[in-house]
Homo-oligomer: A and B are copies of this chain.
């Protein structure tokens, strides 16, 4: 997705050879017009699929997930990173953040995902794939099927994408970064 790659190059801030900051349009300040184009691109790439729910994780996944949900006219469920006191029975999964070097749990209330659901998982980043695997685990604990995974930025130099593709999941990443160096972000193809 060329317009996305251009924004990453123009506005991404290289923090290290594995971390870029895209706070000016994706993770902190959000450009809703770009998010709408991202949602359209997810719909195009998955036009052969018939999802009935989108699942993401708070917070940066919410904007692209809701705009995609609006186009597909299907609900969006976002996993929470802390269990609210008002949450009754729930499903959870353990996630490791390599950026923050810590483990945390993600939670989805029981009953929001049902057996037979055809789920599109959407997230902003795919790197080692821990958060995505956590979402897959919860969806599958519910007896539902992960029918597609839509990622805005995949770090192709980390192994999350290859592991998940190897397990048979269909992943569509709108920009795959092959290498981050001191002064360059290089994309795959």
Q: Which residues of A contact B (CB under 8 A)?
A: 15, 19, 21, 23-24, 28-33, 35-36, 58-59, 62-63, 66-67, 69-70, 73-78, 80, 85-86, 99-100, 108-109, 112
Contacts and interface: CB of A to CB of B under 8 A. Distances in A.
B66 A78 contact: no
A19 B87 CA distance: 13
A109 B62 contact: no
B33 A73 contact: yes
B75 A31 contact: yes
Given A63-B62, A100-B85, A75 B109 contact: no
22 contacts: A19-B86, A21-B86, A23-B109, A28-B77, A28-B78, A28-B80, A29-B75, A30-B75, A30-B76, A30-B78, A31-B75, A32-B66, A32-B74, A35-B70, A36-B70, A58-B59, A59-B62, A62-B66, A63-B63, A67-B70, A85-B99, A86-B99
